[in-house]
Structure formats: structure tokens, C-alpha cells
Amino acid sequence: MSSRYTYYNLFKKMIPGYYNYYANKPDDLRKNIRMELKNLKKIGIIANPNSGKDIRRIFSYAMTIGNNEKANLVERMILGAQDLGVDEFYIMPDNYNMGTNIRGTIEENGDLKSKITILDMVLKGTWQDTVRAAELLDDLRVDCIIVLGGDGTSRLLAKMGTEIPIISVSTGTNNVYPDFIEGTVAGMAAAVVCQFGESEKYIDRDKIIDIYINGSHEDVALVDAAITDNEYIGSRALWDVSEIREIIVTRAHPASIGFSSVLGVNTLCSSRDDFGYRAVLNKGSNLILAPFGAGKMTPVKMEDPVRMEIDQMYVYKARHKGTLALDGERTVVFNDGDTIGFVIRKNGPYRVNVNRALEFAVREKFFSVTAK
């Protein structure tokens, strides 16, 4: 296959309308395709169709965000971003065809000004779809990824190590990492990243917990890792606090729901602090009430929290079989006699602070039509 043929077909797919103009100018075409692809403003969108549907709803009063509302959120994200100069949107496919329906709705309403592409990938109906979509978005070099889901969905992006800035929007059960953000606002913030690039003025690098078993790296957590007595993955979601032996957290605040709140009602640690905490549960002299689940203030016995500095390893020598629940979901099985290591590091996702991004945009007169 000739290089000229390859360039023409790539150009025809990526930038419709320019192909005929450059049909007889291969040198100009090569030059301009690089310029156009570099200058295109692109947003990736990963909407987890399964978030917010786990078994914890039976044991709490957690809100439910259905796929229709997720689709509506994504529509507002696209509409909020396209008028601010975003050229293309890439959406993860799913078995509910949310992406296709989103594109159809906006087209039928006559509001679509940018290009929407559904990622070409084989669906497995599992967490692997999120990882594969993130890999494809990495390859496409999108400027920003908007993630709709819970803590577990964002954890998968941390696990695969994307360095693309993310905006994490809560549509899950007990969410600490994602924020409740209006779709239009999330789209506006993503457009700011597309326009001005990565900046410490509105992007922070988050902490993660690296997890090792017998010296080998096993997995990561974004917010919390719980050592449990439960030997089985099962339905993944963990709702019984009595099964937890210890918790390691990257952040702790009483306004959070879930595992980290157990420490959050006792001590404070923000996402930007260079430390975390660990604590032994179901032992000790402290009896606290924590919002372990939505609408559920749960009494928990615990020992005093112990501060963990960045890059400090905590070693747990297992004297029982069990599982590690990472960001609320049982994920890793361990055996009696295993040595489990936990290290908090500041090498997690690059996360967009939506308020700071929009405030930066105001100072840059990004929303001023006359300034443009």
C-alpha cells in the first residue's frame, strides 16, 4: 500500500471535506494532516452502563441514576463543549447503545455541530470495556476524558495508567472520587482543557494506593483499600463492615460515603495532602458512627488512625484467607501466609478541578465572544 493512499484514506476519515481539495497535492496533504490532527480539540467519554446498580442498594438508600439519565448527562456535556470549540467526541460503546442514541437525539434536534464517533471495539460487558476504551482514547490522544461512573470506574483508568486529564462524574453508589457535576458544566471544563492544555492551575495529580502481594504488584486503589475476612469475590460490592480488618485511605472526610468515612469522622485528609491513613477496625476503644452507606449511620469500633506518608509501605502479614476490597469492591483474593504491601503514591490520574478550570477560563476571557 502506498503512503499516498494511506494518507488520503486517513485524512478522508478524520477530516471530511479536505480530501478533494488536497487530492492532487500529496506533499501539502501530509503537512496539513499533521497540522489538522494536532489542532483538533477532542474529548473522550466513558459512561459505565453498569454503575449505580450494585447490591449495596438493597442495604442502603443510595440514589439510582439510570442509563437514560446518563445519556442525558452526556448530551449536555457535548452541547456544553461543542460551542466552545471542541471538534470531536469519542464515546465508549455499550450494550444499551447509549452512544448511538445520544448522537441520534442531538442530530434529530438539529443541535449537533461537532463530530461524534462511537469507539470501534469488541464489547465484553465487563470492566474490561472501560479499560479498552481508555486505551483507545489514549491512542487517539484526546485532550480530556470524561468518566461517568463510581469510584471503581475511575479506578480502572488509574490502573491502566492514562496520563490524559480526566473529569470524573458521579453516577455510582457510594462515591468519593467522582463529583456530582451538571453535564453542561463538565463539558465546559473539558473544553477549557482542550483550549489551554494541561496546567497545574486546574489539574492535580491524585494519590493512589499501590498494592503488592508477596512482592509482586497486584492492583491499585484510588480512595481506599480494605482488608476483609470474606474469602470470595462474589457480587464484588462490600456492605458488611464487620468483615473488614483494616482500611488504608488516600483521603478521609466526614462528607464522604463508604469506607473512607470511617476514618473521616475521626481525622481529616484531603486529596492534595501528601499523606494518607490506615486503621484497624472492629477492635480498639473508639466507637464511632460513620455514613458507611447512603442513609446508614453505622456504629464501628476502631483503633486510632495511623498516618501513612507518601511512598511509605505498610506490610500486612495475612493469618487468614480473604479479599481486598478496592474502592468499595472486592477485587483481589489473598491466602493465609501472604504478605500484602500498601504504598500511597502521588502518581494517580491527572484530574481536572472543574471549578478552578472554569475560573481560569473566566480570567482568560474564554467565554467572551467579543474577545475572540
- Least confident segment among 52-61, 152-161, 282-291, 318-327: 52-61
Output the domain CATH number for residue 289: 2.60.200
Q: Considering only CA atoms, which of 138, 275, 278 is closest in space to residue 207? A: 275
Same domain, 131 and 154: yes
Same domain, 74 and 165: yes
Q: Largest Cα–Cα distance of the chain, in whole Å? A: 80
d(Cα 332, Cα 217) in Å, to the nearest integer?
Answer: 12
Domain membership flag for residue 14: no
Domain membership flag for residue 291: yes
> Strand ranges (DSSP E) for 60-199?
88-91, 115-118, 144-149, 166-170
Q: Print burial letters for 120-130: b (CB count within 10 Å at least 16), e (below 16).
A: eeeeeeebebb
- Least confident segment among 24-28, 97-101, 255-259: 24-28
Judge contact between 277 and 306, C-beta under 8 A: yes
d(Cα 220, Cα 47) in Å, to the nearest integer?
Answer: 21
The pLDDT of residue 65 is 73
pLDDT category at 62 given cuts 50, 70, 90 is low
The pLDDT of residue 278 is 98
Is it the case that residue 59 has pLDDT exceeding 80?
A: no
Judge contact between 140 and 90, C-beta under 8 A: yes
The pLDDT of residue 11 is 40
Is it the case that residue 155 has pLDDT exceeding 70?
A: yes
Same domain, 85 and 217: no
Same domain, 197 and 212: no
What strands, in cross-sheet order, belong to the sheet with 339-345? 216-221, 208-213, 339-345, 313-317
How many other CB atoms sit within 10 Å of the CB of residue 9?
12
d(Cα 332, Cα 258) in Å, to the nearest integer?
Answer: 19
Domain membership flag for residue 368: no
Same domain, 357 and 215: no
Q: Grid cell 456535556 — which residue?
A: 77
Is it the case that residue 184 has pLDDT exceeding 90?
A: yes
* Percent of the chain's residues with pLDDT above 70: 84
Residue 190 DSSP label: H
Same domain, 191 and 258: no
Same domain, 332 and 247: yes
Domain membership flag for residue 280: yes
Domain membership flag for residue 248: yes
Judge contact between 152 and 29, C-beta under 8 A: no
d(Cα 37, Cα 31) in Å, to the nearest integer?
Answer: 10
Quote the pTM value.
Answer: 0.84
Q: What is the DSSP string of 33-60?
A: HHHHHHH--EEEEEE-TTTT-SGGGGSS
What is the average pLDDT across 318-339?
95
Same domain, 139 and 178: yes
Judge contact between 164 and 146, C-beta under 8 A: no
The pLDDT of residue 6 is 35
Domain membership flag for residue 178: yes
Same domain, 57 and 199: yes
Same domain, 56 and 198: yes
Q: Grid cell 437525539 — which residue?
A: 105
Sign of the C-alpha dihedral computed for residues 252, 346, 313 and 229 taken in this order: positive
Domain membership flag for residue 324: yes
Judge contact between 205 and 299, C-beta under 8 A: no
How many other CB atoms sit within 10 Å of the CB of residue 310?
15
Judge contact between 223 and 292, C-beta under 8 A: no
Q: Print burial letters for 312-345: b (CB count within 10 Å at least 16), e (below 16).
A: eebebebeeebbbbbbbbbbbebeeebebbbbbb
Give residue 74's identity as a one-letter amino acid code: V
- Least confident segment among 36-45, 87-96, 331-340: 36-45
Same domain, 266 and 237: yes
d(Cα 43, Cα 142) in Å, to the nearest integer?
Answer: 5
Judge contact between 153 and 46, C-beta under 8 A: yes
Q: Kindly report the average pLDDT of the chain as a whole number.
A: 87
Output the domain CATH number for residue 71: 3.40.50
Domain membership flag for residue 15: no
Same domain, 174 and 220: no
The pLDDT of residue 37 is 52
Q: What confidence tens digit (pLDDT) does each residue in 4-49 have?
A: 333 334 443 444 333 343 344 455 554 454 445 557 899 999 999 8
Would you state the cell numbers that stand for residue 337, as one nine-digit string?
Answer: 501466609
- Whole domain around residue 84: which residue ranges? 38-206+349-363
Residue 241 DSSP label: G
Structural domains of the chain, count: 2
Q: Grid cell 449537533 — which residue?
A: 112
The pLDDT of residue 241 is 87
